[in-house]
Amino acid sequence: LPVLAADHELAQKSTLNAILKRGELRVGLDPGYMPFEMTDKKGNIVGFDVDLAKEMAKAMGVKLKIVNTDYDGIIPALMADKFDIIISGITINQERNLQINFAGPYIVAGQAILLSKKHEGKITSYKDLNDPKYVVVSRIGTTGEQAVKRMIPKAQYKSFEKEPDGAMEVVNGQGDAFVYDLPFCVVFMAQQGGKNLVLLDKPFTYEPLGFGIRKGDPDFLNWLDNFLYQIKEDGRYERIYTKWIKS
Ligand code: ARG
C-beta 181 within 6 A of ligand 1: yes
With H, G, I as helix, E, B as strand and everything else as coil, classify residue 49: helix
Distance of CA 178 from the midpoint of ligand 1 (Å)? 14
pLDDT for 195-239, tens place per residue? Answer: 899 999 999 999 999 999 999 999 999 999 999 999 999 999 999
Distance of CA 119 from the midpoint of ligand 1 (Å)? 26
| Percent of the residues in the chain that have a pLDDT greater than 90, as a whole number | 93
Is a pLDDT exceeding 70 seen at residue 64? yes
User: Exposed (0-12), middle (13-18) or buried (19+): which is 14, by Cβ within 10 Å?
Assistant: middle
Residue 166: CB partners within 8 Å, gap ≥ 6? 137, 138, 139, 158, 159, 160, 175, 178, 180
Strand partners, 176: none
* Residue 234: closest CA among 89, 59, 4: 59
Helices (H) and strands (E) in the chain, counts: 10, 12
Residue 201 has a pLDDT of: 96
Distance of CA 5 from the midpoint of ligand 1 (Å)? 40
The stretch 117-121 carries a mean pLDDT of: 97
Radius of gyration of the chain (CA): 20
pLDDT for 19-59, tens place per residue? Answer: 999 999 999 999 999 999 999 999 999 999 999 999 999 99
Beta strands in the chain (DSSP E): 24-29, 38-39, 45-46, 63-68, 85-86, 101-109, 111-116, 135-139, 156-160, 177-181, 197-200, 207-213
Q: Dihedral sign for Cα 119, 122, 128, 130, please.
A: negative
Q: Dihedral sign for Cα 97, 100, 105, 109, please.
A: negative
Is a pLDDT exceeding 70 seen at residue 148? yes
Distance of CA 170 from the midpoint of ligand 1 (Å)? 19
With the most atoms of ligand 1 within 8 angstroms of its CB, the residue from 29, 99, 181 to mutate is 181
Q: How confident is the model at residue 194 (pLDDT cuts 50, 70, 90)?
A: confident
- 44 HSE (CA, 13 A, CB side): 5
In angstroms, rounded to a whole number, what is the distance separating the alpha carbons of residues 211 and 90? 7
Residue 8 has a pLDDT of: 65
pLDDT for 87-103, tens place per residue? Answer: 999 999 999 999 999 99
ipTM of this predicted structure: 0.98
Report the relative pairing of strands 24-29 and 101-109 from DSSP bridges.
unpaired
